Amino acid sequence: MNDTGRLCQALALRLHCGAESERLRGNLARLANGARLWVEEIPDGADSRLAEVRREREMSRPADPRTGPGARAVLLRYADGTEELVVVAHRAVAEPYDLARALLGEAAGLSVRPAEQTAEREAELRAALAELDRGPAPEWGLGETGAATVGHRSFAVPAHAEVPTEALLRAALGLVLARCTGQSEVVVGRDAEHSVEFSAAPSQTVAEYLEVAGGAGPGSGRAPVVGLTVAPTAEMISGDGVKAEPFESRPFLAPVHPMSLYLAGDGSTVLSGSCVHRHAAFGDAAVEWFTGMLTTAHRALVTAAPDTPVGELSLFDDERRQELAELGGLGQDLAVPRERIEEAVRRRAERTPDAAAVTCEGETLTYRQLDRRADRYAAGLRGHGVAPGDRVGVCLERSLDLVVVLLAVLKAGAAYVPMDPAYPGERLAFTAEDAGLQLVVTRSESFPRLEGVLLVGPAALDGPGRARRGPGQPRDSGTPPRVSPDGAAYVIYTSGSTGRPKGVVVPHRNVAALLAATEGDFALGGEDVWTLFHSSAFDFSVWEIWGCLMTGGKLVVVPYWASRDPAEFAALLERERVTVLSQTPSAFAQLAQADRESRITGSVRLVVFGGEPLDTRPLRFWLDRHPERDCRLVNMYGITETTVHVTAQTVDRRAALSGSRSVGRPLPGWHVYVLDPEGRPLPPGVPGEICVGGAGVAGQYLNRPELTAQRFVPDPHAPGLMYRSGDRGRLLPDGRLEHLGRLDNQVKLRGFRVELDEIRARLLDAPSVTAAAVVLRQGQEADTAGARLDAYVVLRPEVADQARTGATEEVRQHAARFLPAHMVPSTVTALPALPLTPNGKVDAERLPLPLEGRSDGAEEEPAGAGDDVASRLRAVWEEVFGFRVGLDDDFFALGGNSLLGVRLLAALKAAGMPGFPLPQLYLHRTVRQLAPLLAQEGVSA
Amino acid sequence: MNGALTAPLPDGVTAAGALAGKAALITGAARGIGRACALTYAGAGADLLLTDIGHDLDGVPYPLGSAGQLAHTARLCRELSPASVVATAEADVRDLDAVRAVVDGALDRFGRLDILLNNAGIAAPSGKTVHNISPDEWDLMLDVDVSGAWRMIRAVGAALTGQRAGSIINVASTAGLVGYRHFAGYVTAKHALIGLTKSAALDFAPFGVRVNALCPGSVRDDDAAEGRMLSEIARSLDVPVAEHQETFLAAQPMNRLIEPEDVAGAAVWLGSDASRQVTGSTVTVDGGFTSR
């Protein structure tokens, strides 16, 4: 980096009485180690555009003491007789003002620093710059890494009669920095070597804060990203018959800090400032917002009552605030039909009655058949006492029946509450009770029997049911009741931060809006074939089922085993000519792997990613084989509480190559705000909480008024509510959103939203546990399938002495009784105490890696004499898990899952060992159990 | 870091252009291609330090750029572009100290240097078969045409790499790409200059400094630019200028002699950020002559 310009200052003076160039030249040469005076004749007047250009050029030229005198004077002689002197000097050599005075003969005593001291000082200053440059570019500055250019922006602030310019501007800067960094302690640079640090805490009054900022002490060593220099008013110079009036000064010729602000306190009522910024650290758009906030904060400090808390000062004027809201997508019109889901499906059934609607393992229903069967089931539901506005539990595997039942529930005017049959009984029971279910449609034998909850199989709905009529209730008349699109369509339970899942109530109109917002852009229609890949308890299935059936497509129900076997799933995509595929990135990674092994020659034209953050980089391999013109990839950020999706970003090759984290712009009808913890707006680039308003906002958690009031709050710019997602994100200047993870420690694991606190709460429920922590550990190199949850517990002293493995396994099993499989920690490690940060929080960084493998003494364990298959199998397990494995370690207890199972099969194949049908793994869960199975198969070639 | 603290300029005739605000040093600027480049650079908004030798050399059979011609070039530049600072200095590129002083002067005046246009060179003594060239003639040719460019590069190297930006343009010739009868010294020197270009490009690439060679074909002797290269070559070969021009014209696929402005246009491009990924390359402006 060329630092010379950062260490030079410039001063322009207007000479009122003629200065003789020969005398000036002589003075200068005497003063500054051979510095020269240059005389330039400018063929235009001093007020001309040419004069401005020439003056600017001279004010911008650095003077390097390493290659020359480190100072320069240029006498500009204009055609109108005006004369100006521009003096540039390196900080190691002299102050331009002092040099100008000496040059003009006012203070003969002044001399510049001797050469040897100059060299020393120059080195010191350069070292100070190097120190400044060590800080990384602030992420919120939206700089362009590696850019060598400098941007410039002017701003203006009114002068204040009582508060000194520098104190006031510094105070305004402090407020803006605090908002942008999220920290109330701010540091502001003064020059290469000095900075001040002070608190911009929101509770201070304006009067207190101005005092704090004005009297700020030296910084503690944090490298400031923003510098502020306020030049003092320069006095007229007179001497030797010369009068010279300084009229412009520059404290640096290139930004000293990543962003450097300067302003001349020249006594005017409006002070014009300059902001120069390195593009490597601050983009032009970020600086535009920054200086806008700065002038607004400045005005607010001037106009607010002195006892106003500074936290209440607005950093955005109304116009900017509106601009920010529109940047987040506010105001995009969306025409949504006033229609319920089942009405939209009925409309399709009327239009294309014989088109295939749903197919599952060879059995197909046309739209007419689907509609009629769902009508019958709806009648069956009513026969079981279901009335409009009720909630009906549905706990079915993916099947034709599942789709029919869901549609039937809607036709009955009720809302469905989907539950995954694989969830533990206690969670199912909790859901049934919390949702106040009286009827659950399920085939599961193990669904908990609960007082007042009737369990029926789908078949029982096909025909008159056993009525549970109360006295006076009419028997089902067969006429569908009139119901509104504002009614609830479904209630989906999501992981809750209090340790309790919560039901999100989503109205029909939200789903209609979701389709209205995407149908055109995605060109969804009757030619499309969709997959139903996801559990109905995961709201991605809402998109899959209703997205398909409301647009007239054909829905292919993916059986459980096909959804867990990428090669089988790839074959299904080809067989069924699937066009619209929805996937979590983790699942898609497996599919892409299968595609690499055997290219999917298919018809998939649209892949919608959802459910967890997408790492776009690996997608370039897919794009190599399936170019964008054939298959569009769309990354969608979404939340159950805002109806599946919020934003959409088409991932093209450029995005994949750059590893873009953008999730795109909000769908029409949806809008986002990025707010700080106090709910105040944040400018583009600054991360905060993503809040979502518009057509998708669900509006409530079932029976949780307090939580509802906390998370669903009035939208500041539009009628209705906005949802505070708890997700961390930031807007980009072009209106796209970047999703940066969770504000709290809710994480996504293999597509599931997992609240670590919920798991922790379960662990703490175990009688032996006194403290607990849970962390998500990623597999090697962003291997999402290899991600696992590691739990740490502190056991009660009397338990801690017992065999460690036994005690921790008990804790794990306790957690497994309530938590769904994906939330059960893979490992539980007992610690004498949890490591804490100085603030008293659990220090996740210092939690040790869990014991490798579950069985103690795995090392010594003999595999059995001559049992070659077992030892080879164990080696493959260890390769797949990445740690040592015992012969009796349970595959699933080790953190194995179906994805890793598939990987195990691939590794066996690669090792030249025989494979086995994946379901066998559930029956033979240890190396010792599995080895004989493989031995039977014989070693394949 | 690049970039002085410069406010964005509003529209206007002043200082707009591909080289606005850049500082360039041009050797051999008194006349010919050097003058044409200086004028084009000024028109593109650059500040200029123009140098030439200012006197004749023993052993070179034609008059070299004079102090008066150099001053005239500077005057023309100032008239064309009042926004540009145009300074001059006399220097012999064979003199290491003189070269150092010129570069220091440019840095002193401009505070930085963005472009070095190594244009100074001689075409004669030539006109002899290779074994008839005297040791002095050989040494002189290489001293000016190759070592002169190297001395300039040597002198600007620290400043340019320190700035992490800069463009060096070595004016070679089609004689750097193909051979010409009776011009062994010149051809050797220009080939060497291209080699110097490539090596310097590699040395400076990590510092963001670019080095390229510009290879003009036969440039018309232009009255305004006071160019006389073609005449001198004809004289070296002892043929009438008109006949010599005819020979070259016949060999140029575009069927036109190169104008000094054609070369200057390429020099502006190589000096500007428009060519920011071009380094170590040889840009040929020869009407297709070397493509045959």
Per residue in A591-635, pLDDT tens? Answer: 888 888 888 887 899 999 998 778 787 788 899 999 999 999 999
Tell me if chain B has a CB within 8 Å of the CB of A252. Answer: yes
| Bridge partners for B64 per DSSP | none
pLDDT given for residue A710 in this prediction: 93
**Looking at B41, B62, B180, B186, which residue is catalytic?**
B186
Residue A753 has pLDDT above 80, yes or no: no
Give the pLDDT band of residue A465 (cuts 50, 70, 90): very low
Residue A763 has pLDDT above 50, yes or no: yes
Among A127-131, A235-239, A491-495, A678-682, where is mean pLDDT lowest?
A: A235-239
Catalytic residue at B41?
no
The model carries a pTM of: 0.78
B83 → closest Cβ in A50, A64, A68: A50
pLDDT given for residue A857 in this prediction: 39
Instruction: Compute CA distances A537 → A423, A490, A636, B66, B194, whole Å.
Output: 10, 10, 19, 89, 71
Quick one: average pLDDT of A807-812?
83
- From chain A, the residues in CB contact with B47 under 8 A are 57
Quick one: average pLDDT of A81-93?
93
- From chain A, the residues in CB contact with B21 under 8 A are 57, 60
Tell me if chain B has a CB within 8 Å of the CB of A698. Answer: no
User: At residue A188, what is the residue type?
Assistant: V
Tell me if chain A has a CB within 8 Å of the CB of B7. Answer: yes
Which value, to the nearest 10 degrees, does the dihedral of the CA atoms of residues A138, A142, A147, A150 take?
A: -90
What are the sequence ranges of the domains in chain B? 23-291
Mean pLDDT of chain A: 86
Pairwise CB contact (< 8 Å): B4 & A252 = no
Pairwise CB contact (< 8 Å): A72 & B109 = yes
Give the pLDDT band of residue A240 (cuts 50, 70, 90): low
Tell me if chain A has a CB within 8 Å of the CB of B112. Answer: yes
Mean pLDDT of chain B: 90
pLDDT given for residue B1 in this prediction: 35
Quick one: average pLDDT of B203-224?
92
Tell me if chain A has a CB within 8 Å of the CB of B202. Answer: no
pLDDT given for residue A238 in this prediction: 82
Q: What is the pLDDT of residues A141-169, one digit of tens each?
A: 999 988 888 999 999 998 887 888 889 99
- Express as a percent the part of chain A with pLDDT over 70: 88
Query: Least CA distance to A281: which residue of chain B?
Result: B1
Query: Least CA distance to B84: which residue of chain A?
Result: A54
Residue A585 has pLDDT above 90, yes or no: no
pLDDT given for residue B14 in this prediction: 44
- For the segment(s) B23-291, the CATH number from 3.30.1490.270, 1.10.357.10, 3.40.50.720, 3.20.20.70 is 3.40.50.720
Cβ-based neighbours of A91, under 8 Å, separated by 6 or more: A7, A8, A9, A121, A125, A192
Pairwise CB contact (< 8 Å): B164 & A3 = no
Give the pLDDT band of residue A177 (cuts 50, 70, 90): very high
Residue B148 has pLDDT above 70, yes or no: yes
Residue A476 has pLDDT above 80, yes or no: no
DSSP A405-418: HHHHHHHTT-EEEE
Contact at 8 Å (CB) between B179 and B159? Answer: no
Quick one: average pLDDT of A742-757?
70
- Kindly report the nearest CA distance between residue B164 and chain A, in angstroms: 6
Q: What is the pLDDT of residues A7-30, one digit of tens each?
A: 999 999 998 876 677 777 777 766
Q: Which residue has the higher pLDDT, B196 or A500?
A: B196
Residue A855 has pLDDT above 50, yes or no: no
Q: What share of chain A is helix, strand, coil (3-state, %, to 5)?
A: 35, 25, 40
B107 → closest Cβ in A42, A64, A148: A64
Give the pLDDT band of residue A903 (cuts 50, 70, 90): confident
pLDDT given for residue B2 in this prediction: 36
- Kindly report the nearest CA distance between residue B214 and chain A, in angstroms: 27
The pair of three-digit structure tokens given for residue A510, joined into one six-digit string: 């939200």
Give the pLDDT band of residue A780 (cuts 50, 70, 90): low
- Kindly report the nearest CA distance between residue A2 and chain B, in angstroms: 5
Give the pLDDT band of residue A477 (cuts 50, 70, 90): very low
Domains annotated for chain A, with CATH where assigned, are 4-130 (3.30.559.10), 136-232+252-314 (3.30.559.30), 316-333+565-744 (3.40.50.12780), 337-464+483-506 (3.40.50.980), 754-846 (3.30.300.30), 868-937 (1.10.1200.10)
Phi and psi at residue A653, in whole multiples of 5°? -60, -40
pLDDT given for residue A826 in this prediction: 86
- C-alpha A835/C-alpha A848 separation (Å) is 10
The pair of three-digit structure tokens given for residue B227, joined into one six-digit string: 């160019």
Pairwise CB contact (< 8 Å): A57 & B85 = yes
- From chain B, the residues in CB contact with A40 under 8 A are 85
Contact at 8 Å (CB) between B156 and B116? Answer: yes
Among A330-334, A569-573, B2-6, where is mean pLDDT lowest?
A: B2-6
Q: What is the pLDDT of residues B6-47, one digit of tens each?
A: 433 333 334 568 999 899 999 999 999 999 999 999 999 999
Q: What is the pLDDT of residues B155-175, one digit of tens each?
A: 999 999 998 899 999 999 999
Quick one: average pLDDT of A761-779?
80
Tell me if chain A has a CB within 8 Å of the CB of B153. Answer: no
Q: Which residue has the higher pLDDT, A834 or A536?
A: A536
